[in-house]
Structure 1
Amino acid sequence: MATEEMRARSARNTNPFHRIPFQRADLSAPENGGGGTKELVTVTRQYRAELHDTLVTAASALRPEIARYPNSPGVLILKLRDKAIAKSHRPNTLVAEAGLLSAGVGRIEEMLVAANAVTIDSLARLIRFRETKKIRANLSAIERIQAWDKDRRLSATVPELRERGRALLSLFRYHAADATAQNVDALRAVLQRFNMPSMAMVQRWGPPVFRVDLEQISDEGLEALSMFPGLRSIFPEPKMYSASAVPGFIPGPVSPPPPGINHPIVGVFDTGTAASAASLRPWIASTAPYVLPPETDYVHGTAVASLVAGAKVINGDHDWLPPTRCQVHDTCGLEAAGGNTTDLIVRLADAVRNAPHVKVWNLSLGGGQIGDHEFSYFAQQLDALSDEHKVLFVVAAGNYKGLPRRGWPVGEADLQDRLSSPGDSVRALTVGAVAHVDSPGAMVAAGHPAPYSRRGPGPVFTPKPDVVHAGGGVHADWSIGASSLQMLGPANALYGSFGTSFATPIVTSVAGHLWQSLEGHADLAVAPHMVKALMIHAARLASPDYGAVERRYFGCGIPKDALSALYDSDDCFTLMFEALVVPGFKWRKAPYPIPASLLHNGKLRAEVIITAAYSPPLDPNAGAEYVRANVNVSFGVLNGNRISGKVPMEGEAGTTGYEAAQIEHGGKWSPVKLHRKRFPQGVAGDQWAIQLDTLLRANEPPLAEPVNVALIVSLRSLDGNAQVHSDGVRSLVQSNWVRQQLPVRVPVHV
């Protein structure tokens, strides 16, 4: 990212984005479609015999568990072919006729079903003898059948579990509430029988997760748990850490808040701020102490809070740093040496519940590297808290400290530098880091991904991080230097350091101002997904069109400031739509208002940038299919009643059939959609339109309410034509769409 690319065209507070509220007339009648049932491979007698053999092997593995725990069914894995992952090919008829019970999803190609001795025998007969067209098609979708047994249940070896000390027990949620409740009771009975103390963690979705202290559990008790068929997973409780800071000696307190200015208040959940950091105290609006010395030294929390309160002023008014200063709800909830995940979740939930006025929360922490197939436990808990309290978490992508060191461009080494938990939260705004200052000895140039900044994608190719910001540069021996970021220490002096921990509060401060600027509409409830969409869109407007590999490091780029997330430059015209979508219906707005200055001989000559964000239903029991609804975006030309999309979605590219399937049925279900296209030669069209439709996962129940989508569309001149925004407003007025200015107030920039 070159320096000149960082400088977005200047947004003007006379050019507000326009909000287009939802209208029932935007929804069209349902469309019916879908193909017939077909065999993906020929189901011969030999095919049936081989599939039956895999069932026999799986049943043998489950039989001892089912015999020991008759009140909890065993779980079979129906391993699907790559081309059978689509929900239209799921073997649901086979499952229903066998009397099996859906138990969720494992990896993207794994359909899980609960079974007992009777239903296993029924499944065996269907595999061997049933000849209906639907059953044959269902059988052709299954590559093999496996057992969800002890080996799959234990996510770490017994010695590794013992070494960690605390473990979490995650139960299956079956598609029958009584079966799930019976399974919970059966686990409680096992815990009581072996005198295993436990703590039940109530979940927003599904049965509770139980925390156990393995120091108080015998080998016999642990063996009993590992054999319990109703457990989806037994895994070590993750531990979360803040980035360590390196002290320095540059004096310079944080300047106090100007009088008469109503700065937003954001939550900082960290190691707390030091009372001795006197210049920071005027920015501390309130406190919530959960951790006290000696468990905290206040170093990391003071640094993070100082960047929320004044990153720009304590870093020499650097051009890339936003002037959006916020007050802090100081929540001391993280130990300096790191904390256990369940302890942090309990504290964070209590803090959010007790501060309903705080809508944006900074989490500059991280644990272990995420996996490929499932979203981390902490990420799932953040998603649940976000939904329950309607708050936005801004989360660090995490720091890579391993060897070899990473430069830019990245070499061929296979580094363990993927995101850390909870950066994979689908509701959160995840922040990576770039260097912001060129300096002799710095490991990367300004604008390049910082060597420590963990990269995407998230599980099943979900695009992450969302954005990046200045996190401080690293010098050749992994030390601070002139390119590092300045922050405040407990002694009220500035020092240099680096980490995604410090890029995150800069983004948090922008999000806090953005949320505040949207409040006050009579008919608009500000929502986390809306603020997230605007933040991502602002980053895209200020950044080049990254390729798939670059996006793993840069995300969507740097959000310049709150003003550019709400106001256009003169050469750009932006609308934000509020859309409610339901399966089977199309949401469409047409004809789309095109600025006259972007039309040349009937052709649209412009850059089109589209960002959509929404909060689909989630299900931790669904594994790789955690996100349960997808929204498709189309911007293009109407041909009769059909739209011809002209702006493709940006995403990952698969290099193998299995990887392509993961992207198609995982990454493309991401609740953030990115579309971008330049038309230097122009593209013809008499009537332009924007359209959304939604699709549910296999076996997902009907939606309780529509999916609420924040859809942002910018049409930008390719040659800096300053008439675009004013022309767009005139075209919008002529459309007679219901509309209003999006921002209620201009963000505070002092």
Structure 2
Amino acid sequence: MAERDSIQRPVQVFLDTRRFIHPPAPGKRGPSRDFFQGDNEGFRRHKQKMREQLRDSSLRLREQHSALGFVLVQMREEALAKSYRPIERLFCERNRFALVGGRGVGEMFFQATPDALDALDTLIAERAEDVPQERENPRTGEFEERVSGYRSELSGIAGIGLLEASDRLDFSASEAVAALEKEGAIGGYLVELFRPDPTVTGDAVRAQLDALQQRLASVGSLLVRPVAGLRERRPTGLALSIDLLPAGTPNDIVLLAPEGPTAAPDRSARRAVAPVPRDRSVRRHQLLLEQLAEEPLVRRIALPMEIEPAPTGASEPGIAIDLPAPLADRDYPVVGVIDGGISALDALDPWCAGVAGPLLPGDSDHEHGTFIAGLVAAGSALNPGFADRLEREPCRYFDLAIMPRKPLLGQYYSTPDEFFDQLEELVVHAKTEAGTRIFNFSLGSPNARTRHSYSTFASRLDEIARLHDVIFVISAGNLDGVERRPEWPAETDKALEMLAQRGARDDGITAPAEHMFGLSVGAVNPPGLTAAVDGLPTAYTRRGPGAGGARKPELVHYGGAAQRTGNDTGLASLDADGSVVKKSGTSFAAPLVAATVAALDHRLGGQVSRELLMALPVHRSTRHPAMMEKPLRSIAREFVGFGVPGDSEACLADDLHSITLVFADVLPARRELSFVFTWPPSLTAPDGKCRGAVDITLAYSPVVDAAFDAECQRVQLAATLHQLNETMTDDGELTPNYVSQLKHYDNELPQNLDYTEKYLLESGLKWTPIKQYFRQMRGVGNRSDWRLSLTALTRAGAVIPDEGIGFALLMTITDPKGAAPVYDEVRAEVLRRGLRLADITARQQVRV
């Protein structure tokens, strides 16, 4: 990105982005691919093996007396692209199958009945030909093998089968009881269900739901509540919270979500109500787990959800401090602080925009939330040594006290749904009372996810963010104690050696940091310390990726250095008693980012889209030079994302030698954005060669379905930038030659890897809600005409919703030499064409 000049000019927003959105050119589909081309005998063996697996699955369902089951279809690695998925000929609706979910990359669950599996076995025997036909290619005149869709789809499958009990359950009853008794646990087991489709084999769906109800009732004395999907009006939620009541207690089982809105429960006197006792008999829990592990509707059984602040470093209390007070005649941004409450302090109280929450006096611990509030309101004043790197605009905070002390958590929230309902209630309240759209969430659930998965926790936060048009800024989570890495060295070879010596460890981000509709934040070392390098990842910050390889964290900020010796972490804020202390943790990097996003929302009048608010700080983010070295870049994205964001002023300004154009709107189904423009004359040579740099950031609100886990993103957007060149044909005619000029940010491959579909799927270069592209040119092409495009791609079986997909697309054109008048040239050209541009700070004009 270009450095800021002393003369600042505002980022430019198109007021008529919709005029660039048109139907795409019709595409052409090639012949079906045969993954056993030239190996007909190999295909015969594969066909026989797949038929045996279908028959085995059917037999198991009949032996279990199950009307319905869910077969897992695993694709071959070379067949991961959506065009090879077996949903048109094999596992399709006319064959009485329904695609209802997924697990890992290239793994799909199909709803099936024994009869449907038997019929598919017969269909494959009859229609998936052992020897392909030969047909003449009309273009070449040569005869070529052409396979049917049945053989093509079957050849791309690696395996078919039902889940085993061990696939659903990976812990013992004694381990479960210990987890249920832990402080910080909410509710009982998290039992994730398949979501059956009643429009296909409806009788079987109803029969299996009845069987699940009977199975649960037979265990006896159960408390069952839905956890996710309450607003989706589905036959069941995606998950249930299940716990055992004392023997002899009547069952309390609710499987179905309520239709329509329900009255919010009154939690103002939660502690006055004695918690319902639970049964912790290992024998009864063993019986319950065995029953659940054999139930076809169950896809996974997890230990109870835990919620807690990430472990942080602490220091000795220091002196008290007087903070600057807000000006009476000035309006300030507001950040919602979702935590355990904030102390009433003379220094902080003037910055409080409101207080809400169910916690009774004495039930909360204010230490964590007060430190966060101090950073939101006075991060620069408390850290003068690097105040120029923090948000200059102070923020008010809205105290949303939702997290009681860990021993009391179960007394406030008996099921996860009660926690999420309370959270949603508080978010709506803060938005209504103070216009709060940005919420700091430095809480996590350390046992809620595995690498590439999408947790129920993240799913519920995304639902709240989408429904109420808010952004959660979430800490990535911390490694504690011996889990921590050594300090990150500045030398690339030593950094790679340090990571290699650690081997495969569980250091992935903590749920719900894999959420899709907000920002996740890791921590880098602050400046001014001798034992830690400024701007490099801290020893405790957790690494991405997110669900399905999505880039997480997107941003990092100063979280304080790990405390190995002494107490100076380099990051100061307020303790619960009002004294200045120094601490460390991703919990404290997140509010620094939240403050910048809130300041952007405030500067733009609270009117711009969530997508634009997330794209702006990413677009102006920077990294330590060591994290830009080629050997580290593919790894660096997992630790620092796109980097440390600039402050809100830097996000909204260009210098004379660069210009940022913003496209923000909604992309409807079956449409694409296409913007043709002229490269700046000062960067174009007489022969048409173009030089300069271009940086593009894309943020969009993805279509998400938690049932598909690693493939939960069902629709993605992608940007391309083509130079509209002309090439000379053999007969002397000029023909268009559209050459793509963009590269993905961090597109460097790890050693000995290729750009396979699997790598693209798991690396965040393809399926991630925020993307960044770049290109630096010393002289390319032969024309100054360029085209910026934005297109959508769906997963197999997914569709773009009628309301379309909200997006923000930012393109910055820069002269790296700092000489060309890029800003004035591009703006003048756009206005000459009659297009409508506005300064991004013109609040009344940039509403989307």
TM-superposed deviation, 1:270: 0.6
Aligned partner (choices 460, 471, 484) of residue 392 of structure 1? 471
Tell me whether 1:99 sits opposite 2:96 in the alignment. Answer: yes
Tell me whether 1:366 sits opposite 2:449 in the alignment. Answer: no
Aligned partner (choices 242, 245, 262) of residue 212 of structure 1? 242
Question: Amino acid of the residue matched to residue 474 of structure 1?
Answer: A
Contact 1:273 1:298 in 2 (8 A): yes
Give deviations 1:208-267, integer Å, cap 9, x for gaps: 232122444653333222211112222112212213452421321332112211001221
Q: How many angstroms apart in 1 are the aligned matches of 2:484 and 2:349?
A: 41
Aligned partner (choices 512, 515, 518) of residue 422 of structure 1? 512
Tell me whether 1:451 sits opposite 2:476 in the alignment. Answer: no
Matches within 5 A, 1:344-355: 344-355=419-430
Aligned partner (choices 681, 687, 690) of residue 596 of structure 1? 681
Q: Which moved more, 1:504-513 or 1:189-198?
A: 189-198
Q: Which moved more, 1:7-16 or 1:628-637?
A: 7-16
- Give the share of equivalent positions with the same residue, in percent: 26
TM-superposed deviation, 1:446: 0.9
Q: How many angstroms apart in 2 are the aligned matches of 1:167 and 1:381?
A: 17
- Count of aligned pairs between the two proteins: 727
Q: How many angstroms apart in 2 are the aligned matches of 1:406 and 1:685?
A: 51
Q: Which moved more, 1:677-686 or 1:602-611?
A: 677-686
Aligned partner (choices 536, 558, 561) of residue 473 of structure 1? 561
RMSD: 2.8
Question: Amino acid of the residue matched to residue 236 of structure 1?
Answer: L
* Corresponding residue for residue 433 of structure 1: 523
* Corresponding residue for residue 190 of structure 1: 215
Aligned partner (choices 534, 546, 566) of residue 616 of structure 2? 534
Structure 1 residues 452 and 709: alpha-carbon distance in aligned structure 2, compared to 1, 3 A threshold: same
TM-superposed deviation, 1:683: 5.0
Structure 1 residues 313 and 605: alpha-carbon distance in aligned structure 2, compared to 1, 3 A threshold: same
Q: How many angstroms apart in 2 are the aligned matches of 1:152 and 1:336?
A: 35
Contact 1:424 1:464 in 2 (8 A): yes
Structure 1 residues 595 and 538: alpha-carbon distance in aligned structure 2, compared to 1, 3 A threshold: same
Aligned partner (choices 723, 727, 731) of residue 637 of structure 1? 723
* Corresponding residue for residue 147 of structure 1: 162
* Corresponding residue for residue 662 of structure 1: 758
Give deviations 1:39-82, integer Å, cap 9, x for gaps: 211454322222223334444554444x1x43xx1111111111
Give deviations 1:441-480, integer Å, cap 9, x for gaps: x2x2111111111122223221111111111122434x53
Aligned partner (choices 621, 625, 646) of residue 707 of structure 2? 621
Structure 1 residues 50 and 497: alpha-carbon distance in aligned structure 2, compared to 1, 3 A threshold: same
TM-superposed deviation, 1:123: 2.4
Q: Which moved more, 1:292-301 or 1:378-387?
A: 292-301
Q: Which runs of 5+ in 1 are unaligned?
A: none
* Corresponding residue for residue 407 of structure 1: 487
Matches within 5 A, 1:168-183: 168-176=190-198
Contact 1:314 1:486 in 2 (8 A): yes
Matches within 5 A, 1:726-745: 726-744=824-842
Contact 1:155 1:233 in 2 (8 A): no
Q: How many angstroms apart in 2 are the aligned matches of 1:519 and 1:11?
A: 25
Contact 2:679 2:785 in 1 (8 A): no
Structure 1 residues 25 and 218: alpha-carbon distance in aligned structure 2, compared to 1, 3 A threshold: closer
Contact 2:679 2:784 in 1 (8 A): no
Per the alignment, in what secondary structure is the counterpart of residue 197 of structure 1? strand
TM-superposed deviation, 1:665: 3.5
Question: Amino acid of the residue matched to residue 745 of structure 2?
Answer: E
Q: How many angstroms apart in 1 are the aligned matches of 2:484 and 2:397?
A: 37
Structure 1 residues 245 and 473: alpha-carbon distance in aligned structure 2, compared to 1, 3 A threshold: closer
Structure 1 residues 20 and 265: alpha-carbon distance in aligned structure 2, compared to 1, 3 A threshold: same
Tell me whether 1:260 sits opposite 2:329 in the alignment. Answer: yes
Question: Amino acid of the residue matched to residue 463 of structure 1?
Answer: R
* Corresponding residue for residue 21 of structure 2: 26
* Corresponding residue for residue 83 of structure 1: 78
Structure 1 residues 355 and 322: alpha-carbon distance in aligned structure 2, compared to 1, 3 A threshold: closer
Per the alignment, in what secondary structure is the counterpart of residue 835 of structure 2? coil
Question: Amino acid of the residue matched to residue 673 of structure 2?
Answer: W
Structure 1 residues 117 and 610: alpha-carbon distance in aligned structure 2, compared to 1, 3 A threshold: same
Q: Which moved more, 1:510-519 or 1:719-728?
A: 719-728
Question: Amino acid of the residue matched to residue 169 of structure 1?
Answer: V
TM-superposed deviation, 1:360: 0.6
Tell me whether 1:130 sits opposite 2:127 in the alignment. Answer: yes
Aligned partner (choices 688, 694, 697) of residue 795 of structure 2? 697
* Corresponding residue for residue 318 of structure 2: 249
Q: How many angstroms apart in 2 are the aligned matches of 1:109 and 1:557?
A: 30
Structure 1 residues 244 and 475: alpha-carbon distance in aligned structure 2, compared to 1, 3 A threshold: closer
Q: How many angstroms apart in 2 are the aligned matches of 1:427 and 1:219?
A: 38
Tell me whether 1:674 sits opposite 2:772 in the alignment. Answer: yes
Structure 1 residues 241 and 399: alpha-carbon distance in aligned structure 2, compared to 1, 3 A threshold: same
* Corresponding residue for residue 587 of structure 2: 501
Per the alignment, in what secondary structure is the counterpart of residue 394 of structure 1? strand
Structure 1 residues 358 and 571: alpha-carbon distance in aligned structure 2, compared to 1, 3 A threshold: same
TM-superposed deviation, 1:184: 5.0
Structure 1 residues 555 and 665: alpha-carbon distance in aligned structure 2, compared to 1, 3 A threshold: closer
* Corresponding residue for residue 356 of structure 2: 288
Question: Amino acid of the residue matched to residue 187 of structure 1?
Answer: L
Per the alignment, in what secondary structure is the counterpart of residue 529 of structure 1? helix
Structure 1 residues 137 and 445: alpha-carbon distance in aligned structure 2, compared to 1, 3 A threshold: same
Structure 1 residues 295 and 461: alpha-carbon distance in aligned structure 2, compared to 1, 3 A threshold: same
Structure 1 residues 684 and 495: alpha-carbon distance in aligned structure 2, compared to 1, 3 A threshold: farther
Contact 1:485 1:497 in 2 (8 A): yes
TM-superposed deviation, 1:420: 1.1
Question: Amino acid of the residue matched to residue 94 of structure 1?
Answer: L
Give deviations 1:683-703, integer Å, cap 9, x for gaps: 543311101111111111452
Structure 1 residues 437 and 24: alpha-carbon distance in aligned structure 2, compared to 1, 3 A threshold: closer
Structure 1 residues 422 and 158: alpha-carbon distance in aligned structure 2, compared to 1, 3 A threshold: same
Tell me whether 1:235 sits opposite 2:235 in the alignment. Answer: no
TM-superposed deviation, 1:14: 3.8
Q: How many angstroms apart in 2 are the aligned matches of 1:343 and 1:130?
A: 52
TM-score, scaled to structure 1: 0.90
Structure 1 residues 598 and 295: alpha-carbon distance in aligned structure 2, compared to 1, 3 A threshold: farther
Contact 2:547 2:709 in 1 (8 A): no
Tell me whether 1:53 sits opposite 2:52 in the alignment. Answer: yes
* Corresponding residue for residue 290 of structure 2: 223
Per the alignment, in what secondary structure is the counterpart of residue 279 of structure 1? coil
Give deviations 1:159-200, integer Å, cap 9, x for gaps: 333322221122212344557676555534433343311122
Contact 2:556 2:641 in 1 (8 A): yes
Structure 1 residues 404 and 220: alpha-carbon distance in aligned structure 2, compared to 1, 3 A threshold: closer
TM-superposed deviation, 1:659: 9.2
Per the alignment, in what secondary structure is the counterpart of residue 704 of structure 1? coil
Larger radius of gyration: 2
TM-superposed deviation, 1:155: 4.9
